[in-house]
Structure 1
């Protein structure tokens, strides 16, 4: 499989208010345990490192003052598949990972920090605001320990599609899709008291208690 050599990462800067675009090469981690990413104004924005066969993006968050750790499979990361970088506390958008062209496209202008940005990845998602609401609901369940796989794994990966959020168990490969295109999808996600990946009776968007 052909893997592109460069990936783009667009992140909002809390110091200068702009969205900085970082282009990462497949070879930048060669011989280096990590790569530090800084805005042109000098503000530290993220660190990309290798850990146990995965790439981990560490993002200091200006929304919750926490440090978010986002794990990626190396193949998927270097393919440049679009993926939102979201604050795990607020569910709001911090940036995006994808191709360098995609990152540059959504870097200007940077919106106000306090609101969901419907322009970022707006050409990719069917309804960006609905996607961010569903992401926020799933993050809340994840933080509360109510997102897991039937195999017992509690570390679930997210894959963002234009009209849905795919939950994937990296241990056994089980998947579950949640609709993320309509207000009804948001309501289902908000009503869910727990989510289980791999349940034989699960349906996309099913939020059964």
Structure 2
């Protein structure tokens, strides 16, 4: 069956959390509180559905997000405007079936309407990372530096991809994109007016 990429739903957060924490050392663990913060604040939080079950998820945000990840801060120090892929997780039984490529194609379709570049990182100290780097290279990412995360001393290759369509979109439409379903931003869940927006914490990898 085909892969459907869509916005996450609240009742799916437990499944997303289980997927994340079963992904192995290439993905940093999450707790329910941090995942809730992503759900309430991340502009891009989508799942891939195949055969009626969740096959993976991806979380992303723009460079103006309030996020204290050291990897995110590294990108913001070196680049003024970008879309950051915080993490992508594909269920082990679905790896190699095109879910990862479906996510990156969807994320690029979203990002190139709004940002000139797309950023992510790949950990270099987790054993066999060559297939992951090759995957990103085949999708047009290039290494623009390396960063060692404080606290756990994990080294990451910092990857960036130019989004060539962005300049044309910005010149043609400015900040007013056509009102069609595929150009819309994710609708964030409503919170009481007095409740301050929580700030995502922690650091992650793709």
Same fold (TM over 0.5): no
Higher strand proportion:
1
TM (norm. structure 1) is: 0.29
TM (norm. structure 2) is: 0.29
Higher helix proportion:
2
